[in-house]
Amino acid sequence: MSNKENQSKKVKVNGKWIEVSEEVYRVYMREEWRETQREYRAKKCRNADGTVCRKDCKTCPHYLEGNGLLGATLSLDAFVTEDGTPIEFEDKRVDVELEVARNILKEAFKKAKQSLTDRERLILEYFMDERSDAEIGAALHITKSGAREARYKLFVKLKVLLSDFADYFKK
C-alpha cells in the first residue's frame, strides 16, 4: 500500500471536517470530479462522429473565424422516442453528504444507547415499538404519568448525549 493510500481522507459535512474511509471519500468526491471533467470537455470541439478534437484552438481555422466550439457540450436532449417525445431519465443519485451524516449519527446513537441504564434501554425499546405511555407504564409497573416522565427524562439524556448532531439535519 502506498503512502498516498494510507493518508486519512476528510470530507466537509455541514461545515465540519469528518475523517472517512477511502471508499466513502471516492463516492463523496465523484460528482465533483465529474463536473471537472464536464468543464474540461466543454472547452474542446468535437468532430462529426463525436470524437474530441486534439488540435490547438489557436491554429483552428473554424475557431479563428470567430465561431464557437463545435459540439463541445454533451446533452441528453437528443434522446427522443420515434415520435419525437423526449426520453425522461430518472436521477437515482444519493445525497452522499446526507448518507455520511446519517451513518455517523447511527454510530453515535449506538454509543449513546450503551451509556443508558437497562431500564432506560427498555423504555426506548418500548417507545420504538410504538407502545403508548399506558402500555409502557403497565410493563414497568408504574403509572402512565410515571412512564411519560421516564420517557421525557430519557429523551433529555439522549439529546445531551447526541448534542453534537443537533444541526446535522437542519436545512
CATH code assigned at 117: 1.10.10.10
How far, in Å, CA of 163 to CA of 14, rounded?
A: 15
Question: Does 154 fall in a domain?
Answer: yes
Question: Does 2 fall in a domain?
Answer: no
pLDDT greater than 90 at residue 153: yes
Question: Does 29 fall in a domain?
Answer: no
pLDDT greater than 60 at residue 72: no
Question: Does 170 fall in a domain?
Answer: no
Question: Does 155 fall in a domain?
Answer: yes
Residue 140 CA from chain centroid, whole number: 40
Q: How many domains does the chain have?
A: 1
Give the model's pLDDT for residue 116: 93
Give the model's pLDDT for residue 46: 65
Q: What is the pLDDT of residues 30-41, one digit of tens each?
A: 888 888 887 776
Q: What range defines the domain where residue 137 resides?
A: 96-165
pLDDT greater than 50 at residue 75: yes
Give the model's pLDDT for residue 1: 46
Between 5 and 87, residue with greater pLDDT: 87
Grid cell digits, residue 10: 476528510
147 close to 136: Cβ distance less than 8 angstroms: yes
Confidence of residue 148 (pLDDT cuts 50, 70, 90): very high
Confidence of residue 162 (pLDDT cuts 50, 70, 90): confident
How far, in Å, CA of 139 to CA of 126, rounded?
A: 9
144 close to 133: Cβ distance less than 8 angstroms: yes
pLDDT greater than 60 at residue 106: yes
Question: Does 101 fall in a domain?
Answer: yes
Confidence of residue 125 (pLDDT cuts 50, 70, 90): very high
